[in-house]
Amino acid sequence: MRLPWTPFGVVCAIAVVRAIVARPQDATPPPLDEAQQRDAFKFVASDESAERREAAKTFPSDLWSRDDDFHQREMKRAQEWARTHHASLGDTLGAVDRGLRERWPQNNPSALVTTTPPCRPRAIY
């Protein structure tokens, strides 16, 4: 008789319970200080040579795609640092940008690449 309304009642009860026990979202994390910015830069830039080699294996003849693949890997490292340090991704990427512009020291064996190759038609594979 009233059995068809039971699932609806259960869903409503779950929604009410979740609304009662919900916590507000955390506020925006504070901006990174100088030491944190340098730490973020070192973490993200430390594997550039190895990541560029991996990207070159993926796209051996397309420089633009190779660079794009590297930056995807770099983004994952930036996201990882931001998540583990409870920082915003924007501040983390800003620290990487600042470190590149100001040529901060890093643990990479070769110089960091600060240019982007032109986008050209992809070679036929």
Tokens standing for 15? 């929604």
**Alpha helices (runs of H) in 46-88, residue ranges in sequence order:** 48-58, 63-84
Average pLDDT for consecutive 10-residue bins of the chain (125 residues)?
78 91 80 96 92 92 90 96 95 95 84 83 64
The per-residue pLDDT for range 96-106, each reduced to its tens digit, is: 999 999 989 88
The domain locations on the chain are 32-125
Neighbour-count burial of 26, counting CB atoms closer than 10 A to its CB (0-12 exposed, 13-18 middle, 19+ buried): exposed
Provide the pLDDT for residue 118: 84
Backbone dihedral region for residue 23 (phi beyond 0: left; psi -120 to 50: alpha; all else: beta): beta
The per-residue pLDDT for range 71-88, each reduced to its tens digit, is: 999 999 999 999 999 999
Please state, rounded to an integer, the average pLDDT across all residues of the chain.
88
Tokens standing for 16? 């009410």
Write the single-letter amino acid at 107: N
